[in-house]
Structures are given as C-alpha cells and as structure tokens.
C-alpha cells in the first residue's frame, strides 16, 4: 500500500512539472492574410454601402406606416400599396429581389430611418422642405390632394380647411406627423382645434365616437377608409377646396426617402424610377390602387424642385 501511494505521488509531481513547462512555452503567432510588412485594413475600410449590401444580401429593409393605399401589410403578411409596388419594381431592377417591411408609426419613420432601423422609407411620404432637411428624397412618384370625412349630410357645411378655421368650435383629426397639420395651421386652423391620432383607422373611429367633427388626410387614403368603415353615417365632404398656402393651391408630391449618406442608393433609385415613368409602367403600378389615376402622375417634377435650398449642394 505504501509503494502504491509513493507511485501516485511521483506521478502527480511529474504531471505538474509537465504542465508548468507547457505553460511557459511562447504562444504561437496568429496567422494573418495580410502581406508581410503590411497591417490589416481597419473594419470600416472594408465596409460596403447600403446599396452594395442590399444587392449582396438580396433584401432591403423598408419602413412603412400601414397606411392604405400607400403601404400596408396584407392578411398574409406581404407588403403592398402604391409606394411599395413602385419600390418593388425599382429594387428588382437594381438586383434586390426581396423587401423586408418594418412597421412604424408615421411620425417615427424619419427617426427610424436615421437610426438605421431600416434602409428606405416606402410609405408614400410627402416631400417637403422641412423633411428634406432630414432625409434625402427620391423624385416624386405621385401627386395628390387633400380631403375630409364628415358626418353624413355634412351638417357643419365643411368644404375646406378655411371653413374649419372660421369656426373655433369645430375640431378636426389627423395623423401624428401628417403634413395636413401644417396645411391647416397655415390657413388659420388653431392648434387646439386639431387632434392627432396614431393612424387613419383610429382617427375614423374617433370620428365615429364623436371625439372630433371631421377627419382629414389624402383623398386616396380617405376613399379607402370610407370603403373599410362602410358606415352610412359618414361621407366625404365633396366638393373640397384645396388649401391655399403661400399664394397657391397645395399639391402634394410623395416619394421614397433615404439617409443623406445613401445618395448613391437614392440616385440609382431615381434612374430606375425614371424608366418606369418613360415606359408608362408607373401609371400601371399606382393605378392598381383606389384614388390613383393619370392625374396622379407627378410629371417632370424632381425632388430638387420641391426642396431647392436643402438639396442645393447635392450633385
């Protein structure tokens, strides 16, 4: 028994010495692919643009606000809408076959784009000088006017934003971040007359509940809302006079939006969009959706025409 214990002790000592010797050996150098005498490039030097990455992966992330007919998720989860179908045609031509939608409240679309939550806004967003200071718009893909949903019979006789401004007791709803807020305040509607809701369905529900006297948005959207609500107690306020801002009737143009650092992507988008316009395919794409017809085509208007100051230095 003593001999066995001595043998075990010798064995433990031997193993310990071997472990110490191995630990003292210098660690082998890590292999490198860089040529001798050269440093490996920094990670940012190996980076790729958003367009390059989207082409490599075959997918682009798009922000949308679930606003029919501009951009919305269908029951099976696929994206559709005027802005989505135009973008899909453009992205496919650019070698990007898939679109991954990121549902976002409208007022959070620009912050979401800037934060990198998605690559492009495809929500039919109006191109305005204020927004152009924050994002880089593609050229417009449509033009559109405003409308009002009111109680059936239009008991308050509302046919313009000026009619709302003339009666301080009238309240009107619109979406948070919607450009309609600017149009209404520009013609004299008081801020305390305006109530904002997260989206069009909740706003129409507010109108039905008597929380507001009217709901405003783009005519194509409100046509869809009327059809969806199927409520005989509601109607469009026809005729509706477009607001006069800076001496001219308002015509709104909408398009896709990119980060300023993604000008390459924006420019490539514009090239393919122009091909859709020249071929007549743009009308086919937007004409699938209620409220869009030949009169909705944007003509030769460019994003730079709408935002000459913001885009003055962009080549």
Could you report the per-residue pLDDT of 144-157, keeping only the tens digit for each? 999 999 999 999 99
Q: Can you list the positions of beta strands (E) in 55-170?
A: 59-64, 72-73, 79-80, 98-103, 120-121, 136-137, 142-144, 146-151
Could you report the per-residue pLDDT of 88-147, keeping only the tens digit for each? 999 999 999 999 999 999 999 999 999 999 999 999 999 999 999 999 999 999 999 999
Domains 50-143+252-306 and 146-249 share a fold: yes
Q: What ranges do the domains of the chain cover? A: 50-143+252-306, 146-249
Task: Please report the pLDDT score of residue 26 as a whole number.
Answer: 46
Find the DSSP H helices in 174-280: 180-186, 200-208, 219-229, 263-279
Q: Which of the listed CATH numbers 3.40.190.10, 2.30.130.10, 3.30.420.40, 3.40.50.300 matches domain 146-249?
A: 3.40.190.10
Among 18, 209, 207, which residue's Cα sits nearest to residue 217?
Answer: 207
Question: How far is the C-alpha of 242 from the C-alpha of 237, rounded, in Å?
Answer: 12
Residue 294: C-alpha distances to residues 220, 225, 260, 281, 284 (Å): 13, 22, 31, 12, 9
Could you report the per-residue pLDDT of 172-213, keeping only the tens digit for each? 999 999 999 999 999 999 999 999 999 999 999 999 999 999
Residue 161 pLDDT greater than 70, yes or no: yes
Could you report the per-residue pLDDT of 25-74, keeping only the tens digit for each? 444 443 333 333 333 333 333 689 999 999 999 999 999 999 999 999 99
Q: What is the CATH number of domain 50-143+252-306?
A: 3.40.190.10
């Amino acid at each position: 028994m003593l001999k066995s214990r001595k043998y075990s002790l010798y064995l433990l000592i031997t193993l310990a010495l071997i472990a110490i010797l191995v630990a003292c050996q210098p660690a082998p150098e890590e292999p490198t692919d860089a040529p001798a005498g050269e440093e490996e490039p920094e990670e940012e030097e190996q980076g790729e643009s958003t367009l390059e990455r989207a082409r490599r992966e075959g997918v682009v992330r798009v922000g949308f606000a679930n606003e029919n007919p501009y951009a919305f998720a269908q029951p099976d989860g696929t994206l559709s809408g005027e802005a989505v179908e135009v973008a899909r045609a453009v992205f496919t031509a650019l070698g990007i076959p898939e679109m991954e939608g990121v549902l976002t409240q409208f007022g959070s679309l620009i912050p979401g784009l800037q934060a990198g939550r998605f690559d492009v806004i495809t929500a039919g967003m109006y191109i305005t000088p204020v927004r152009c200071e924050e994002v880089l718009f593609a050229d417009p893909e449509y033009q559109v006017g405003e409308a009002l949903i009111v109680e059936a019979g239009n008991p308050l006789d509302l046919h313009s934003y000026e009619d709302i401004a003339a009666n301080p007791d009238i309240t009107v709803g619109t979406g948070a971040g919607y450009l309609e807020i600017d149009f209404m305040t520009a013609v004299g509607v008081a801020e305390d007359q305006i109530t904002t809701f997260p989206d069009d369905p909740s706003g129409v529900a507010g109108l039905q509940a008597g929380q507001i006297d009217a709901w405003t948005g783009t005519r194509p959207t409100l046509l869809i809302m009327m059809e969806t609500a199927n409520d005989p107690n509601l109607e469009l306020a026809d005729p509706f006079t477009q607001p006069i801002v800076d001496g001219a009737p308002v015509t709104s143009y909408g398009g896709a939006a990119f980060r300023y650092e993604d000008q390459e992507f924006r420019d490539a988008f514009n090239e393919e969009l122009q091909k859709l316009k020249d071929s007549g395919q743009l009308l086919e794409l937007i004409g699938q959706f209620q409220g869009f017809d030949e009169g909705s085509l944007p003509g030769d208007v460019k994003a730079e025409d709408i935002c000459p100051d913001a885009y003055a230095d962009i080549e």
